[in-house]
Amino acid sequence: MSAKKLTGVNSFHSAVSVASRDAKLELTTDAVCIHKNGIEFRSPAPFKAWSEMTVGLLSPKDGSRISCHGVIVGCAGSKHTGYNVSLVFTSMTPQTEKQLGVMARSQFGAGS
């Protein structure tokens, strides 16, 4: 998986919303690394592995919204430093896969 961190988009304060049954986060672009098949993000609270989540991504390039479902595959950290959460997308349409691929390779990502 190649990571792409969304950067250089100061006009977008909340580019990603992440929601599970128990929690909802609005994440800023500096807290998210996007991949073509998942995301990594920082969270102040832990998430249980294998929890299902809904992710809403707002493209900093054209403002389009992408909605995906995923599963938490990793969560590490502490209540003092925060948690690094890894989520893999599931059941994506070919169109959504293409949009995520473009977003992951865009100028808004960090080098891979």
Rg, C-alpha atoms of the chain: 13
Per-residue model confidence (pLDDT) at position 76: 96
Per-residue model confidence (pLDDT) at position 2: 38
Q: Print pLDDT tens along the chain (112 aa).
A: 333 344 333 333 346 777 777 777 787 777 788 887 888 988 888 999 999 988 888 766 677 788 889 999 999 999 999 999 999 999 888 888 887 877 777 644 444 4
Per-residue model confidence (pLDDT) at position 23: 74
- Domains of the chain, by residue range, sit at 4-105
Q: Rounded to an integer, what distance in angstroms lies between the CA atom of residue 36 and that of residue 41?
A: 14
Per-residue model confidence (pLDDT) at position 80: 94
Per-residue model confidence (pLDDT) at position 88: 94
Per-residue model confidence (pLDDT) at position 49: 92
Output the CA torsion 78→42→101→10 (10° steps): -160
Question: Quick one: 4-105 is in which CATH superfamily?
Answer: predicted glycosyltransferase like domains (2.40.10.220)
Per-residue model confidence (pLDDT) at position 16: 74
Say how many Å lie between the first and final Cα of the chain, rounded: 9
